[in-house]
Amino acid sequence: MIAREMFEQFKQRFGPLIVRADLPSDNRLFVFVDPSSVRYVTQHIFRELDARYVATIGADDRPFSGKFLVAHNFAFDKEHLLCGILAYLPPDKPQIDSITDMVPAASWGEREMRDLVGIEPVGHRYLKRLVLPDGWPEGSHPLRKDTLWNEVPAQYDPEREFKFDEAPEGCMVIPFGPFHPTLDEPAHFRLFVEGEMVRGCEYRGFMVHRGIEKLAESVMNYNDIPMLAERICGICGCVHNVAYVQSVEEAAALKPPPRAEYIRTIMLELERLHSHLLWVGLACHIVGFDTLFMQSFRIREPIMWMAEKISGNRKTYALCVIGGVRWNITPELKLELRSVLDKLESEWRPVVAAVSHDKNIQKRTCGVGVADAGQVKSMGLIGPVARAAGVDIDCRRDHPYAAYDRVEFDVITEQGADVWSRLLVRAKEVFESIRIIRQCLDKMEDGPLQLEIKDELPIGRMGLSSVEAPRGESHHFVITGENNRPRRWRVRAPTYQNLQGIPAMIKDQQIADMTISLGSIDPCFSCTDRLETVDVRSGSVKVWSQEELLKLTRKKVEG
């Protein structure tokens, strides 16, 4: 038992520092430690045991335990183990030592924890606001339980501007964003430039933060939230849909039927296919190769049609419920899907061959946006960014879920650690996704699509779920709660980690390489920033009923 063996190692090393441990399964471990020892424990895990940093979570647990809660989640990829190091903090002084000097990847997680929950990471060297706007009043923390989901503080000043850092001596400032022709979402990079060379930058995002975690714990139920989770990201919606339900299923010790697991795997790989084809096309567009841009989108379109035939939508499949899936894949759909995959494979091979030998693309991407294996480790970089640096990680293999433990595939890696290597990784992964889907179609057995869940879900249980999105690992953390909804739900999207590597990628690079360097991580700002409507200026709240929403959509269609 992997979790038990790891816990025995922890007991030998840390002894009385461990308050308690939960071992919900063979590959999950939650270790509660004294708050004063969190730095020491995480240092040992990250440096000596070579665990990979995943996420930092803060929670207001005062209504239940009377305390605040902090969790630092790590992955032991070779051991197939996800592990949380947790500590309870006193309600009157929620402070904990920062771990960012040893685990730089935790910087944003600690800053977000401070903004939204009010837990102070003592010793953090850069505690500038991350999520909250500058006009948000001090002492108001949206994810505290005594803050209402639709509350706008009276002291909020929407006109107050964000204060950027001063440029280093000898550098001028060039703004990249908040709106840029090659980006569909708002993000502001303040580039510090010396001549044509970028010497540093400051990032300001979270301009479209939607408060989904607060909505989930306040006004939604377990089977409402998959719809919300799917809208975290316009490209990786199915990833978040699956990751959320799996975290709840794990916490509640539920195992979906095998057929449902195969269908989840197929839909996840269809999503990976259309995302990779989209990204390769956009990357070529950024460097001026519009012929391949159009070819990629042409080849991609039948995948979108196939997704619509299975689920009724090109995107936002509404696939999962707790304990299963909504949609079946009929024999007729299986036959058509095989035909689509055959055509995709035959058309994509010459495209990959053309890209692999194109000297113009190589000149624009080789040696550009470099993030080596050391930066992958320190900054927690994931997905194609990590695999392009020779770091052999993939949640589908390392922490298998759905039906990935029943299929064979290769994890694609390259060694260049640059934009060119990321392009090759994603282009080649298309063939592995086709391979996975074919195996699922062959092995998928008959049976129910959903579990019959008769009892209420247990309260106070924790669940972790990591799902390999096309951009990298999406991680969901859940604490089950009362009123048929989570007590805490934390989402960490892949762009959240990979964005933290951009300053290192673009340092001492030319300004002209900024766009493709940023584009190479395939940034999704909406899922990083993570619907009732609130008029911030007036404070008025409008809650839309189902009937009103139906009227609006019908009016739109008819118009």
| 212-223 as b/e: b if 16+ CB within 10 A | bbbbbbeebebb
pLDDT of residue 556: 45
Task: Give the gyration radius of the chain's Cα atoms.
Answer: 23
Mean pLDDT to the nearest integer, 449-457: 93
> Would you state the pLDDT for residue 181?
58
Average pLDDT over residues 483-487: 95
* pLDDT at res. 486: 96
| Per-residue confidence (pLDDT) for residue 200, from 0 to 100 | 93
**What does the pLDDT read at residue 523?**
83
Model pLDDT for residues 253-286, shown as the tens digit of each residue: 999 999 999 999 999 999 999 999 999 998 888 8
Q: Tell me which long-range contacts 86-91 makes (C-beta under 8 A, separation of at least 24).
A: 86/30, 86/31, 86/32, 86/33, 87/32, 87/33, 87/34, 87/35, 87/38, 88/32, 88/35, 88/61, 89/35, 89/119, 91/62, 91/66, 91/67
Q: Which residue has the higher pLDDT, 261 or 527?
A: 261
Q: Is the pLDDT of residue 531 over 90?
A: no
Domains 2-150 and 212-530 share a fold: no
The pLDDT of 233-251, averaged and rounded, is 94
In the DSSP assignment, the letter for residue 73 is E
Q: What is the Cα–Cα distance from 275 to 283, expressed in whole angstroms?
A: 12
pLDDT over 50 at 400, yes or no: yes
What share of the chain has pLDDT > 90, as a percent? 79
Q: What is the DSSP string of 144-164?
A: STTS-TT---TT--TTPPP-P
2-150 in CATH: which number? 3.30.460.80
Tell me what pLDDT residue 312 has: 94
What's residue 375's pLDDT? 97
Tens of pLDDT, residues 328-368: 999 999 999 999 999 999 999 999 998 888 898 999 999 99
* Mean pLDDT score, 168-177: 90
CATH 1.10.645.10 fits 212-530, yes or no: yes
Mean pLDDT of the chain, nearest integer: 91
Q: Which residue has the tokens 């969190």?
A: 38
Q: Tell me the pLDDT tens digit for each residue of 40-69.
A: 999 999 999 999 999 999 999 999 999 999
pLDDT of residue 152: 86
Q: Where would I find the beta strands (DSSP E) of 17-124?
A: 18-25, 28-33, 52-61, 67-76, 81-89, 95-97, 120-122
pLDDT at 423 (0 to 100): 95
* Residue 556 DSSP symbol: H
Q: Where are the domains of the chain?
A: 2-150, 212-530
| 165-192 average pLDDT score | 82
Answer yes or no: is pLDDT of 535 > 50: no
SS3 485: coil
User: Is 466's pLDDT higher than 90?
Assistant: yes
